[in-house]
């Protein structure tokens, strides 16, 4: 496939576990910097490059990266519905609602049935208000919420409207619950973990997350940053 990073490309990247979205974009930036499409009228250009929606370091899956004039489409791409798969662990919570921090509280799970989990998932489907995690990139008075939280500052998160279009429980092996979720822009799966635990009179946190789709773009068509560098960078 011929690329033109100046006129613009939409690249489908499979972000590795523990990588930040910035690291993935930076890897691509270094891979394409010598590409001949960046020479315009004899002058080497530095096209814009950016991603259409952050993935947390502990999440894997589809990251859309745009270059050149295609960066103008980033807002449209970010607005598309997203699909995730992953696992929740019932009976324990963490301050960030995932594995980034240690468990801070434990709760009973003996009363939780598969039927109760299925019903809770059904109840979560639809348009609703969701409070983002304090350890998130939400801006509050010019600061990222996670920066304030890590500095020990008091963080008040405001709810926002989201839509959970599909919430499928794909497997239950207590205390682990596997799921598939289709949701709107701005939905935090970590917050769903928190709220699911509360709905079940227990606690929960996210232990695995993979973004499998953004709009019609699918993870199965993506390559890792290293695969992109190896196969598509100019030698």
Report whether pLDDT(49) > 80. yes
| pLDDT number for residue 143 | 73
When pLDDT is averaged across residues 175-193 and rounded to a whole number, the result is: 96
Q: Is residue 151 predicted with pLDDT exceeding 80? A: no
Cα–Cα distance for residue pair 119/115, rounded to 1 Å: 6
Structural domains in the chain plus CATH codes: 10-79+217-232 (3.30.2350.10), 82-214 (3.30.2350.10)
pLDDT of 232 reads 58
Give the catalytic positions in this structure: 56
Average pLDDT, the chain: 90
What's this model's pTM, rounded to 2 decimal places? 0.91
Percent of the chain with pLDDT over 90: 70
Q: What is the pLDDT of residue 36?
A: 74
| pLDDT band of 86, cuts 50, 70, 90 | very high
Helix 225-232 vs helix 21-32: angle between axes, to the nearest 10 degrees? 0
């Amino acid at each position: 496939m011929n690329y033109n990073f100046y006129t613009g490309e939409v690249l489908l990247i499979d972000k590795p576990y523990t990588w930040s979205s910035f690291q993935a974009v930076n890897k691509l930036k270094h891979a394409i910097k010598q590409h001949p499409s960046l020479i315009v009228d004899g002058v080497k250009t530095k096209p814009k490059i950016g991603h259409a929606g952050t993935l947390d370091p502990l999440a894997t899956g589809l990251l859309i990266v745009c270059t050149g004039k295609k960066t103008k489409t980033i807002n449209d791409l970010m607005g598309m519905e997203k699909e995730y798969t992953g696992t929740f662990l019932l009976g324990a919570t963490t301050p960030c609602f995932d594995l980034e921090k240690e468990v801070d509280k434990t709760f009973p799970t003996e009363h939780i049935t598969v039927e109760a989990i299925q019903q809770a998932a059904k109840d979560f489907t639809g348009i609703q208000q969701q409070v983002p995690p304090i350890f998130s990139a939400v801006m509050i008075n010019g600061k990222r919420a996670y920066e304030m939280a890590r500095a020990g500052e008091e963080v008040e998160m405001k709810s926002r409207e989201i839509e959970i279009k599909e919430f499928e429980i794909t497997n239950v092996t207590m205390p682990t619950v596997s799921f598939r979720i289709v949701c709107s822009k701005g939905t935090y799966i970590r917050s769903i973990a928190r709220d699911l635990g509360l709905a079940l009179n227990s606690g929960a946190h996210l232990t695995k997350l993979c973004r499998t789709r953004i709009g019609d773009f699918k993870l199965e068509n993506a390559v890792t940053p290293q695969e992109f560098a190896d196969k598509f960078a100019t030698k």
